[in-house]
Amino acid sequence: MSAPLTKRHDIDVDGGTSDETRPSKRARMSTEPEHPVARDKPSLGRTPVDDQEEEEEDALYPPEETRASDLYLDTARYTASLDFDFEKVCSVSLSNINIYGCLVCGKYFQGRGRKSYAYAHSIHDDHHVFINLETTKVYVLPDGYLVSDPSLEDIAYVLAPTFTENSVSSLSSPSHLSRLSYDLNHKPYLSGYIGLNNIKRNDHLNVIIHCLLHVPPLRDYLLLSNFRGKEPELLKRFAGLAKKIWNPRLFKSQVSPHEFLQEVNRASGGKFRLEQQGDPVEFLGWLLNRLHKDCGGTKKKDSSIIFKTFQGELRVETQQVLIRPESGPNEKPKFDIDRAVDLPPPPLFQDAVEKNIIPQVSIHSVLAKYDGRTAQESPGQLRRYKCQRLSPYIILHFKRFTKNAFVEEKNPTIVNFPLRGLDFKEYVDAPPTDSSTLYDLIANVTHESVAGTTRDKENTVWKAHIRAAGGGGDNEKWFMIQDLIVEETRKEMIFLGETILQIWERRRDV
C-alpha cells in the first residue's frame, strides 16, 4: 500500500536527499500484478475492486489533503480522444460500476485500488492520471492521491457540463448565433447545432434526437437537470447527451450518441438498434412515452415535462359498428366510411424522360381531410377523437409508407407548407380565446432514397432541418443536419425534401 502524504526524505537520482511532500514517481514494474487482469469474461459486479480497500485509500488521502500538483499532470493530454462519448464501461471487465477514465490514453477501467484494472494499467503502461467518470475527481495512480488543479477543469467540464438558468435563457434568442465556440483544432462550431456520429445505421435516431433537443421546454429541463439519484438510466443518458450537444467547450465539434443509444437498445428490447435502419416516427413515439414514464408522468394533466410540452386535449366519441348490406356471411364488420390517406397517391404514369411526375400538395389540404379528427376501429365500436385543446408543441406525421403482400411502397408527394404562421384554428372544436392558434415550424425531418415508389431502406438518408435560435424575420436561419454534416441552408430548400415529420411551436403572442 502506498505511503501516506507526510513529509519524508527520498533519495534523488543523483544520490543526494531532498524533502518531498508528495510520493515520488514510481519506476515502471515489469512483473505482473498480484491479480492478473481477466479478459475472458465480463464482470457485472464490483469485482475485482475491493470496497474496503477503496475506503482505506480514501482514508489515507482525505479531501482536506487536496493540493495543486504538477506531478504527472503534464502527461494528461487535451485531445479529442477525451470526449467521453462512449458507454462508461471498463474496457477489461465490461462492468459499469466505479469507472475511471485514463487521461493519457482515454481508456476506461474499473476501480483504483491495488487490485483494480486502473491500478494495473498505471503500472504497465506508465499512465498515472485518472478521472472518476461519476464524481469527476482526479487521482494519480498507483500512489492513489487526489489531485486538484485548475488545468483539469476543462476536462471535467467536457465530462459533465453544467448549465444555469441564465445560460439556457439565451439559447433560443438570436444572440446565440454570434457565440461561436472553437474546438481543439480551432474549428468553429455553434453549440446545439453540431453533428452526431452515424455509428452504423442510426441516422433515423439522430434526427429525432436533434428535433427533441431543440424543443425549448424539454431542452431546458434536461440541461438544468442534476440526476444523481435513482432516476432511470435512459433519462440520465438523454440528459447527458443534451448537455454535450449544447456544450460550448467541446474538445471536438461533434458528439457521438453511442452511450445513449446503447441504453435505447437495452430499454427497447432490441427494437431500436445501431446497426439496423428503422422508422424515426416509431422511435419518436416510443421515446416520448418512455421519457414521460421516466419523468414520473401519469395520466394526470401536466404530470411530466413531456405531458406539458406535447399533450393536448381530445374528446372521445364512440359509435357502434355498422355492417354494410352487401357484406358476406363470413366478412368481418366494417365501417362504411371513406378512409382518407395522409397524402394523395403518386401518379401511375411517367413522363418522357422516364421519371415519376411527383405531385405536390399543400399542408392545409392534408389537414383539411381530417378536420381535427381521427378514427380508430375497435371490436364492435368506432372511436372518433376530436381536438379540444392544442398543445404548446404540435408534432405532425405524414404517412408515406404502406405495406402490401409483396412490397413496402413509398409515397413521394411533396408537401408545401409555410415556415411561420400555420393556423390550427379550424381544426379545433372550440378555438381558444386566451392563447394563439398560430404555430411556427422549428424542426422538419425529410426522407431521401433512390427515385421510385418502392421503399429502399438500404439507401435511405434521413435529414433534419432545424430553425436556429428562435428565428423570426428576414434574417431567420436554418441548419440542415445529416449525421456529421451541419450546413446553413436556404429556407427555400426545406420544401424540396420528402417531409415525414414536423414539430410546430405555438406563438407566445395572442
**pTM of the full predicted structure?**
0.76
Q: What does the pLDDT look like over 101-155, one tens digit per residue? A: 888 888 899 988 888 999 999 999 888 889 998 888 989 888 888 888 787 888 8
Is there a single domain that holds both residue 199 and residue 229?
A: yes
Which one-letter amino acid corresponds to residue 510? Answer: V
Contacts 24+ apart (CB under 8 A), 373-379: 375/335, 375/337, 377/335
Q: Are 438 and 503 in contact (CB under 8 A)?
A: no
Upstream peptide bond of 174 is cis (omega within 30 degrees of 0): no
pLDDT exceeds 60 at position 316: yes
Q: How confident is the model at residue 89 (pLDDT cuts 50, 70, 90)?
A: confident
Torsion of CA 425, 431, 435, 441, to 10 degrees: -20
Task: Give a yes or no: residue 44 inside a domain.
Answer: no
DSSP string computed for 190-228: -TTS-EE---SS-HHHHHHHHHHTTSHHHHHHHHT----
Based on the number of CB atoms within 10 Å of its own CB, is 397 exposed (0-12), middle (13-18) or buried (19 or more)? Answer: middle
Res 192: pLDDT: 94
Mean of per-residue pLDDT scores for the chain: 77
d(CA 136, CA 69): 17
Is there a single domain that holds both residue 375 and residue 475?
A: yes
d(CA 86, CA 255): 10
Upstream peptide bond of 346 is cis (omega within 30 degrees of 0): no
Helices (H), 113-202: 117-124, 153-159, 165-168
Return phi, psi of residue 499, to 5°: -65, 135
Task: Give a yes or no: residue 31 inside a domain.
Answer: no
Task: Give a yes or no: residue 179 inside a domain.
Answer: yes
pLDDT exceeds 50 at position 367: yes
Q: In terms of DSSP bridges, do strands 129-132 and 99-102 run parallel, antiparallel, or are they unpaired?
A: antiparallel
Q: How confident is the model at residue 246 (pLDDT cuts 50, 70, 90)?
A: very high
Q: What does the pLDDT look like over 149-178, one tens digit per residue? A: 787 888 889 888 999 999 999 898 888 988
Q: How confident is the model at residue 335 (pLDDT cuts 50, 70, 90)?
A: very low
Q: Which three cell numbers stand for residue 266?
A: 437495452
Longest Cα pair distance anywhere in the chain, in angstroms?
Answer: 108
Q: Are 170 and 176 in contact (CB under 8 A)?
A: yes
The CATH number linked to 168 is: 3.90.70.10
Average pLDDT on 399-418 reads 82
The CATH number linked to 108 is: 3.30.40.10
Task: Give a yes or no: residue 34 inside a domain.
Answer: no
Res 473: pLDDT: 62
Under DSSP, the state recorded for 433 is S
Res 458: pLDDT: 67
Which one-letter amino acid corresponds to residue 121? Answer: H
Torsion of CA 38, 41, 42, 43, to 10 degrees: -60
Task: Give a yes or no: residue 35 inside a domain.
Answer: no
Q: What does the pLDDT look like over 409-437, one tens digit per residue? A: 888 888 889 999 999 888 888 777 778 88
d(CA 147, CA 150): 10
Task: Give a yes or no: residue 362 inside a domain.
Answer: yes
Provide the residue range defining the domain that includes 154.
73-158
Is there a single domain that holds both residue 376 and residue 287?
A: no
From residue 464, alpha-carbon distances to 9, 384, 418, 498 in Å are 64, 32, 17, 11
From residue 200, alpha-carbon distances to 191, 217, 257, 304, 454 in Å are 24, 31, 12, 33, 23
Is there a single domain that holds both residue 99 and residue 113?
A: yes
**Residue of 47, 23, 50 whose CA lies nearest to 37:** 47
Overall number of domains in the chain:
3
Average pLDDT on 212-237 reads 93
Q: Are 436 and 145 in contact (CB under 8 A)?
A: no
Is there a single domain that holds both residue 216 and residue 285?
A: yes
Task: Give a yes or no: residue 7 inside a domain.
Answer: no
Task: Give a yes or no: residue 68 inside a domain.
Answer: no
In sequence order, the β-bridge partners of residue 454 are 409
Q: Are 482 and 280 in contact (CB under 8 A)?
A: no
Under DSSP, the state recorded for 148 is -
Helix or strand run (H / E) with residue 377:
strand 373-378
Q: Which three cell numbers stand for residue 51?
A: 470496497
d(CA 8, CA 20): 6
Is there a single domain that holds both residue 382 and residue 367?
A: yes
Is there a single domain that holds both residue 116 and residue 251?
A: no
Q: What does the pLDDT look like over 20-37, one tens digit per residue? A: 334 444 443 333 344 333
pLDDT exceeds 60 at position 446: yes
Is there a single domain that holds both residue 252 and residue 375?
A: no
Is there a single domain that holds both residue 151 and residue 164?
A: no
Q: What does the pLDDT look like over 40-83, one tens digit per residue? A: 434 334 444 444 455 445 544 454 444 444 567 766 766 666 77
Within 8 A by CB and 6+ apart from 331, the residues are: none
d(CA 484, CA 210): 12
Is there a single domain that holds both residue 120 and residue 176?
A: no
Is there a single domain that holds both residue 109 and residue 174?
A: no
* Final residue in a domain of this structure, among 295, 328, 358: 295
Is there a single domain that holds both residue 199 and residue 83?
A: no
Q: Are 500 and 397 in contact (CB under 8 A)?
A: yes
| Residue that has been written with the C-alpha cell 409508407 in this structure | 401
